[in-house]
Chain A
Amino acid sequence: MTILSAMSQALFGAFVLMTIMGAFLAVRRSVMIMHSVLGLAVCMLGIAGLYYFLGSMFMSMMQVLIYIGALCVVLVFGIMVSYTPAEIKRRYITGKHMPLALAAGFFAVVPMGVMVFNADFQVNKGIPSGDIAPLGKMLLYKYCMAFELISMILLIAIVGSIILSKGGHVGGDESEEGGDHAQ
């Protein structure tokens, strides 16, 4: 029992470490863009593990599927089509707004840290079930409107991204020529 508990603690620590290191790698200044995407993938894997520790296997799987399986592939695709090989290989990039960025990070940490440390929560001791049937019912009854709206937004985004990547022109013959010219 103690060995299992220690292993669980170690795994939790590993996931926390993965999240922190991944986020650090993703926003570091001197890093190649592909390593940045890799950092994001590692960070998302760490968060998926934390979701498992929060009692939801389903959300953990969704995190891996959506972020690592879909989003990172979309990012790599975007890098492939809009970066020159020299830009992909470039390691040292001067961040232009360094003091501003540091200040933003600082002002994000301090008020929220104060808030968190002064908060007083009534913590549930029970472990929630990982059953996904109530979640499905909730999505289709209570939050049906939000669910449908997000589906609609996804559809609009797909159509919009097709139009944008086609060159920003749709419609008659003249604009199609424009689109070909842009390619």
Chain B
Amino acid sequence: MPSNEILIYLLLAIFLFAAGCYGLIQRRSFIRMLIAVELILNGAGLNFMAFSRFTAMEPDTGRAFTLFIMGLAATEAAIVVSVSLSAYRQYHTVDPDDVKDLKL
């Protein structure tokens, strides 16, 4: 069993990942799915930061990867919001289950 300090961060990351999975599969609207995906990505980022603080030889590697995760999260948010807007224009709904075909 790992030491107490790193264990808190790892358990928190697992919680964020699980909450994200739960929210993503519930699938009530595009924006809520995006929020859930952000939680999953932050769980990964927290893991990177915790391991880079406690076990890595070079602590900046984990920070660099967390920065990359933040960049990808911002990219993904921009895309999902515009897809949501586009789907709302075409289908007049925010429910992903009602958007059945990929024609835009």
Contact = CB atoms under 8 A, between A and B. Distances in A.
B68 A150 contact: yes
B63 to A, nearest CB: 5
A67 B38 contact: yes
B74 A164 contact: no
A70 B74 contact: yes
Given A135-B63, A154-B75, A40 B38 contact: yes
Question: Max chain B CB contacts within 10 Å: which of A20, A23, A40, A120?
Answer: A23
Contacts of B61: 138
Given A139-B67, A164-B83, A109 B35 contact: no
A59 B63 CA distance: 7
B21 to A, nearest CB: 4
A165 B19 CA distance: 30
Contacts of B36: 26-27
Given A96-B26, A128-B59, 13 more contacts: A23-B39, A26-B35, A74-B77, A82-B30, A108-B18, A108-B21, A124-B53, A139-B64, A153-B71, A154-B75, A157-B75, A164-B83, A168-B104
Q: 7 tightest CB-CB pairs across the interface, nearest first? A: A27-B23, A161-B82, A78-B81, A105-B22, A82-B88, A128-B59, A164-B82
